Amino acid sequence: MGTTLSGFGHYVPDMVVTNAELETRLGLSAGWIERRTGVIARRYAGDGETLCHFAVKAGRMALQSAGIDPAEIGLVLLATSTPDHLLPPTSPLVAHHLGLACGTLDMAGACSGFVYALALADSFCRTQNKSVLVIAANILSRRLNFEDRASAVLFADAAGAVVVTPVDEPHRGVLGLDLVSDGSAYDFIGIPAGGSAAPFGEGTTITDTRMAMRDGKGLFIKAVAAMAGCAQTALSRANLQINAVDYVAAHQANTRMVELVAATLGVDPCKLVGSISAYGNSSAATIPLSLSMKHQQRQLTSGETVLMTAAGAGLSAGAIVMRL
């Protein structure tokens, strides 16, 4: 038995935040953000929008794209760093709004969360013969510290989703996989307060509840190496060369990172699938968002091979080679 991606979906909020707006707010020169990051604009959640709202929108689009009976969904995986609440998890509510009563799981894998969720979904499909709805969604605008320019100019809000479906052909689905971590970079980026190590209390400041990038340069170097390294290992395990891949979807952290990973791997630029310029960095959501947008432009079809690679906070990283 194998698997395939039978449906794609995404959601981005209506509020467009331009570079000019942020450059004025942060005291940056005109053009600084695009030159440094490749981001031209990004989307922020509107008043009243929640992470569940994002996930339901993307998930419903993916289910409709797959044309699947909801009863065939055996599991919903939600990759997010910004759940509606610390407790309870958000995925049961997402499933409820989608009319699903299957198992659900929130996965806090930061920027690599979608790759990890997809690996689990493929295994579940093969062993249980049931489809899996994988959603990655984040509302990072509500965790920005505008005193920290390095992160404030990058992060944005979006959701992406895929339906992973079992098929009879064993040569389809995940062909190669590599998942790694490097805890030496654990605190390079994060949110200081809110966990059991530093719970909310009377002394908690607003800044402590916002994202902080302690070592952006170090994170960049390690993330590029991890994304490229995982991709090379995944290709090797799939017994494929990079020129056999039809599309490469790298985590959209910033343009320079994607370009370096692509150059290291020897990727033909025309095979890159991305969304960074118009939608910014929505962490785990960037890969499924990019895939869904590509599918809208030109349907991804059976037999095509996609390489996905990502790295982020923790540091966690992973790559998957998947044949549709």
What does residue 77 show for φ and ψ, rounded to 5 degrees? -110, 130
Active-site residue 102, yes or no? no
By CB atoms closer than 10 A (0-12, 13-18, 19+), residue 69 is exposed
| Alpha carbon 193 to its chain's center | 23
Starting at the edge strand found earlier in the chain, the sheet holding 305-312 runs 173-181, 316-323, 305-312, 247-250
DSSP state of 197: S
Check 10, 19, 281, 295 and give the catalytic one: 281
Please provide the DSSP assignment of 121-141 as one string.
HHHHHHHH--EEEEEEEEEGG
Active-site residue 281, yes or no? yes
Structure tokens at 9: 């979906």
What does residue 153 show for φ and ψ, rounded to 5 degrees? -80, -15
* Helices and strands per DSSP (H, E), number in the chain: 10, 13
Check 53, 125, 230, 251 and give the catalytic one: 251
Structure tokens at 148: 């920290």
Active-site residue 145, yes or no? no
Check 10, 19, 53, 111 and give the catalytic one: 111
Structure tokens at 183: 């805890």
Determine the length of the chain.
324
- Each residue of 3-17: b (16+ CB within 10 Å) or e? bbbbbbbbbbbeeeb
Question: By the 8 A CB rule, do 162 and 179 touch?
Answer: no
Q: Say if strands 103-107 and 73-79 run parallel, antiparallel, or are unpaired.
A: parallel
**CA count, 13 A, side-chain hemisphere, 187:** 4
Strand partners, 308: 249, 320
- Active-site positions read 111, 251, 281
